Structure 1
Amino acid sequence: MDENLRLLEDMKKLGLNQYEAKAYTKLLEEFPLNGYSLSKISGVPRSKIYEVLDNLLKKQLVFSKKTESGLVYFPLEPKLFISKIKQNYESILKNVEEKTNELYLKNIIHYDSKILSGRKEIFSFLNLIIGLANKRIEISIWEEEFFQLSDSLLEAEERGVVIKGLYFGYNNKLKNVLTHRRIETYLSEKEERNIIVIIDRKEAITGIVSRGEVSQVSWTNDPGIIDITSDYIVHDLMVNMYSNSLSGSDRKKYEDAMDKVRKEYFE
């Protein structure tokens, strides 16, 4: 797309109509101008130019000055224009956020769970909520999925969010996340990979993410489900930490006992 056309389209996205965008951008190139001259170089019809200028005056994007030859117009400096737009949008977004939250919270009667489908959509959502984490993230994650979330997780760690849990793989970059023991065994046994992400003890995402676009996870804000999910991670973490504290025959006995329990449970 031509750069001038793209600029006009972007200006329209900021709330100006096509004629207002044309008049303002042309006035930036050459000023001061009267309405007739601006109409000629901007392509705004003469029948519309003074209505357009009146709108821009009301929006404080142009200013007028009386001269001996008549009224001429000056544009608002671009730096001030951008600052004004930012202030307007910040005010709008703040109001929309407050009012939509009021409407939403009125209808929260009970805690809820939802299904998210599609690997791409799942990780887009996960990156979003990881970016909003304030204090704590709990995870159980495989190496393949870590690559999809690494930027968000490492950035969260840098801003002081505590990240704890388990990592199934070889290249663990998270300082407080434990690499799962006997990784070769798990990699050979598991046909599918699941993921758990808990954000600030307020929401949890769990499910299978190795099925491509038919992957599905559950998102919930139910405190009871979040507690159960967190307990699952910490139990797995304790088993791994205890095993890692043993050595030699003691560790072998422990792992053999764990294998026996696991086998008998799933028989």
Structure 2
Amino acid sequence: MIENILETLKNLNFTEYEAKAYLALLEESPLTGYAVAKNSGVPRSKIYEVLDSLATRGDILVSHGITQQYIPIPAKELIKNRRIKAEENFKLAELSLEQFNHSAKNRENIWNIIGHNEILDKVKECILSAERRLLIEVWKEEFKELEAELRKATDRGVLVTIIAYGDIECDFANVYFHDMSNEITEEYGGRWLVFSADDLEVVAGIVSLDKDSRAAWTMHQGLVMPITEVMIHDLYIMEIMGKHRELLEESFGKNLINLRKKFSIHPDYKKHYV
């Protein structure tokens, strides 16, 4: 039992002698330095050096009478202090290393992700690290799986804009509903997902093929910029359609179907990426 406690104290940044001295004081205090050495097994030649270290760190208190005596701070207070110190260290490390957050990742590579769940896991990871803006073009099926992470991003002040395919119910983000979601799903033969975080990284791919789904994740600016701007262009079109639908559909057909047909290379006007 004692050995386990000593190991626990070592994990809290105690040396072996410090752990033995502190534990001896928990069992009985106040004690003189001589008594701590006797009760703990710490060599007398080392005991005052050990006690000074514990006192400097605030783990024990020292009386300043003719004969100095020592008492430990309560175990609960010790744990509380260690927890506070650990949090401070984590915050300091986070701030100190933030400058390397993006440079540490290879910004030149394009990474292939295989599998529906794996793709969404990568998107969730990117959502958690976002700080300013998220753009996502998504079907309702995948939105349900990402909703919790997107909501948390909004709660911490990230601007979330969704280009939605299907009846997505969302009360926390800017949502633009794409017309003819079912027809487009049929036209393309599947569902895709396009995601951009802070104009720094993107995930884009087909997500409706279960384990055979394919997507790419990259921080390569040669892809991040055009993919992000295509999504913004979609938002432009949807804003324009909202203001001038009647005029535009008169020229290009319902939901601009004639434009999609014009730029199709297949006789059936369907896409054949899948």
Aligned residue number for residue 72 of structure 2: 74
Q: How many Å apart are 1:180 and its aligned residue?
A: 1.5
Percent identity among equivalent residues?
Answer: 25
SS of equivalent to 2:265:
helix
Q: Give the direction of change, closer, same or farther, for the CA distance of 1:54–1:172 in structure 2 (3 Å limit).
A: same
CA distance in 2, matches of 1:39, 1:143: 68
Task: Rate the CA distance shift 1:160–1:74 in 2: closer, same or farther, 3 A.
Answer: closer
Moved more, 126-135 or 13-22: 13-22
Residues 168-190 of structure 1, C-alpha deviation per residue, up to 9 Å, x if partnerless? 22123154221221122234455
Q: Are 1:154 and 2:151 counterparts?
A: yes
SS in 2 for 1:150: helix
SS at 1:233 equivalent: helix
Partner of 1:178, secondary structure, is strand
Is 1:130–2:127 an aligned residue pair? Answer: yes
Counterpart of 1:139 in structure 2 is 136
**Is there any run of 5+ residues in structure 2 with no aligned partner, and where?**
268-274
- Asked if 1 retains the 8 angstrom alpha-carbon contact of 2:176 and 2:235, the reply is yes
Match of 1:261 in 2: 262
Could you report, residue by residue, the CA deviation over 1:44-74 in whole angstroms, capped at 9, with x for unpaired residues?
A: 7666994865653454322344778874332
Which residue in the other structure is 2:192 paired with?
194
CA separation of 1:134 and 1:252: change in aligned 2, threshold 3 A: same
How far has the Cα of 1:142 moved from its partner?
1.9
Q: Among residues 89, 93, 111, which one is paired with 1:115 in the alignment?
A: 111
Residues 1:252 and 1:220: Cα distance change in structure 2 (over 3 Å): closer
Whether 1:167 aligns to 2:164 is: yes
Which residue in the other structure is 1:180 paired with? 178
Check 1:241–1:45 CA distance in 2 against 1; reply closer, same or farther (3 A cut).
Answer: same
Give the root-mean-square deviation of aligned CA atoms: 4.6
Q: Secondary structure of the equivalent of 1:72?
A: strand
Q: Secondary structure at the match of 1:147?
A: helix
Match of 1:204 in 2: 202
Q: CA deviation at 1:219?
A: 2.6
Gaps of 5+ in 1: none
2:271 aligns to what? none
Q: What is the CA-CA distance between 1:140 and the residue it aligns to?
A: 0.8
Quote the residue 1:246 is aligned against: 245
Normalised TM-score (structure 2): 0.65
Query: What does the per-residue CA deviation read over 1:102-142, in whole Å, with 9 as the maximum and x for residues that have no partner?
Result: 9x85x99x951331535555444433432343332221112
How far apart, in 2, do the equivalents of 1:6 and 1:207 lie? 52
The residue type paired with residue 101 of structure 1 is F
The Cα of 1:166 is off from its aligned counterpart by 1.0
The 1:148/1:7 distance shift into structure 2, 3 A limit, reads: farther
Distance 1:191 1:200, change over 3 A: same
